[in-house]
Amino acid sequence: MTIRARILTVEEINHTSLSWFFRKILAENGDTMTDLFKKARRFTDPATYKKLGLYPYFLPFSSQIGPRMSIQGKETIMLGSNNYMGLTSHPEMLKAAKDAIDKYGTGCTGSRLLNGTLELHNELEAGLSKFLGYEDTIAFTTGYQVNVGIVESLTTEKDYVISDELNHASIIDGVRLSKAHRAIYKHNNPEDFERVLRELPQKAGKLLITEGVFSIEGDLNPLKEICKIAHDYDTRVMIDDAHGTGVLGEHGEGTPNYFGLGKDDVDILSGTFSKSFASIGGFASASEEVINYIKHTARSFLFSASMPPASCATANKATELIQKGDHLRDNVRKLLKRYRSGLVSLGFNTVPSESAIVPIIVGDLENNFRLWRGLLDNGVYTNPYMTPAVPVGHELLRTSIIASHSEKDVDDAYMVTPHKVSMTMYMTYLKNYLENLKAYFIGIQPGNLTYMESITEETEKSIENIVHFLADFFKKD
Ligand SMILES: Cc1ncc(COP(=O)(O)O)c(C=O)c1O
């Protein structure tokens, strides 16, 4: 008798009563089977970084988000929050939340369309319309749902959505969910935006969707040029100003207002309550007929429960406080200048902007985590960004100023960087900095520098600062 052995197919394995056994063997020996969970088993990066003490995510906080707060039982300067106006612990915000809970309870348990609309939602929408200068506003349960819902609601397979290549994930997902064709232009590049529009069918419906302030590096969108081009090509404009509302504009109206633009330039202005508004939820403001359409067709609005009472009441209160908050914005501007020039004078690579976001570009995953850890150990909290949020090789620490920070908070924070964080790390920065400048360091003593090319006075001063700092540092040691 001949015994013939053969390898079972995946289907056969799945159908045998011993399938669990085969699955186990295959799981342990590397398999050809399509187990969806295989990727989870092989996803070991978090564990590796945890072992190294460099895992930076899901860190639980044990106090209110404020300029200095308790993290792992230690007072820490918070440089990693979107609480730009510092309202999360404002007494009037706390009272608004408590009063709303007392009156309306903890949740709405239904969608806005049916059983989830409170007077509070209507008040919030009316207040925002007035503040932002639009006919009407719709409040969603998150900012993410705004982008996911609106693009899909307004476009069909005949239309085109044009999007900046660095748009936030919620915009990307909104575009993906819609049936429209997508066209991407180079980041903040009006010429490329125009090139893209020129190539699209003239008569097709077109929607530009992009950000006012870009969420990771905080750079501002050149909205004047972008909106003009959009209008020249009959393209509707939707601006997600999640990081601009509250911080920019005459009284916090956001990036369009900062550039002198209004509802005739930006058809839909959207945003979130999870940043300057110190709550949760999202909104879009537009003409009455557009909002009416979105309200009855956006699936992420219709098929999700509404903002809970406390969130709604705090967003409402924040709308009022933001408008009265010129002093808060002044403080943010003043501190930003101080903080950014402090970082630059020490050789850190950052991006100039009027927004409250200050990235420290590291350009390497492990160094980014090491710098994050070094800062945290020395009482400064930041957010490390890696792919897919930023391209590989552009890893950065995202830091931001909040209105309740003081000059001391900011000075303590940036001075920690070279003093306490590993000197090797700092030297890497310096090396990059000098390489960027095409300058050569000859010796680390003041006055002992030569350069390949002529450099600006400001840079010269910055290098001198670094040299003095290093000289002091080594003297102390
Ligand atoms: C530009 C941008 N849009 C939308 C969102 C989503 O907002 P939310 O947190 O309210 O879902 C964010 C949040 O990070 C964002 O940065």
Does 239 sit in the ligand 1 pocket, CB within 6 Å? no
The Cβ-side half-sphere exposure at 301, using a 13 Å CA radius, reads 27
Give me the pLDDT at residue 16, please.
42
The CA distance from 340 to 329, in Å, is 16
275 is catalytic: yes
Q: Residue 3 Cα, ligand 1 centroid: separation in angstroms?
A: 63
Q: Which residues are paired to 380 by β-bridges?
A: 77
The CA distance from 19 to 24, in Å, is 8
Give me the pLDDT at residue 341, please.
87
Q: Residue 470 Cα, ligand 1 centroid: separation in angstroms?
A: 40
Do the Cβ atoms of 258 and 244 come closer than 8 Å? yes
Give me the pLDDT at residue 70, please.
93
158 is catalytic: no
Superfamily for 68-85+327-437? Aspartate Aminotransferase, domain 1 (3.90.1150.10)
Give me the pLDDT at residue 416, please.
75
pTM here is 0.83
Q: Residue 51 Cα, ligand 1 centroid: separation in angstroms?
A: 31
Q: List the chain residues with pLDDT less than 70.
A: 1-33, 417-463, 465, 467-477
Does 279 sit in the ligand 1 pocket, CB within 6 Å? no
Regarding beta strands 206-211 and 160-164, do their DSSP bridges make them parallel or antiparallel, or are they unpaired? parallel
Does 215 sit in the ligand 1 pocket, CB within 6 Å? yes
15 is catalytic: no
Q: Residue 50 Cα, ligand 1 centroid: separation in angstroms?
A: 27
Q: What is the DSSP letter of 145?
A: H
- 324-357 b/e (C-beta count within 10 Å ≥ 16 → b): ebeebbebbbebbebbbebbbbbbbbbbebbbbb
Which ligand 1 atom sits nearest the alpha carbon of residue 211? 1
Which ligand 1 atom sits nearest the alpha carbon of residue 273? 10
Give me the pLDDT at residue 48, please.
86
Which ligand 1 atom sits nearest the alpha carbon of residue 281? 10
Which ligand 1 atom sits nearest the alpha carbon of residue 280? 10
Does 242 sit in the ligand 1 pocket, CB within 6 Å? yes
Give me the pLDDT at residue 324, please.
98
Q: Residue 39 Cα, ligand 1 centroid: separation in angstroms?
A: 27
The CA distance from 229 to 210, in Å, is 14
The residue whose CA is least distant from atom 15 of ligand 1 is 242
Q: Does domain 91-323 have CATH number 3.40.640.10?
A: yes
- Domains 68-85+327-437 and 91-323 in one fold: no
Q: Which two tokens stand for residue 78?
A: 């918070």
Identify the burial level of 426 via C-beta atoms within 10 angstroms of its C-beta, where 0-12 means exposed, 13-18 middle and 19 or more buried.
buried
Closest CA to 295 of 174, 153, 124: 153
Closest CA to 77 of 401, 362, 420: 401
The CA distance from 78 to 104, in Å, is 33
- The distance from CA 425 to its chain's CA centroid, rounded to whole angstroms, is 25
Active-site residue, from 129, 178, 215, 400: 215
The residue whose CA is least distant from atom 16 of ligand 1 is 215
Domain definitions of the chain by residue range = 68-85+327-437, 91-323
Does 249 sit in the ligand 1 pocket, CB within 6 Å? no
Q: Residue 144 Cα, ligand 1 centroid: separation in angstroms?
A: 5
Does 143 sit in the ligand 1 pocket, CB within 6 Å? yes
The residue whose CA is least distant from atom 14 of ligand 1 is 215
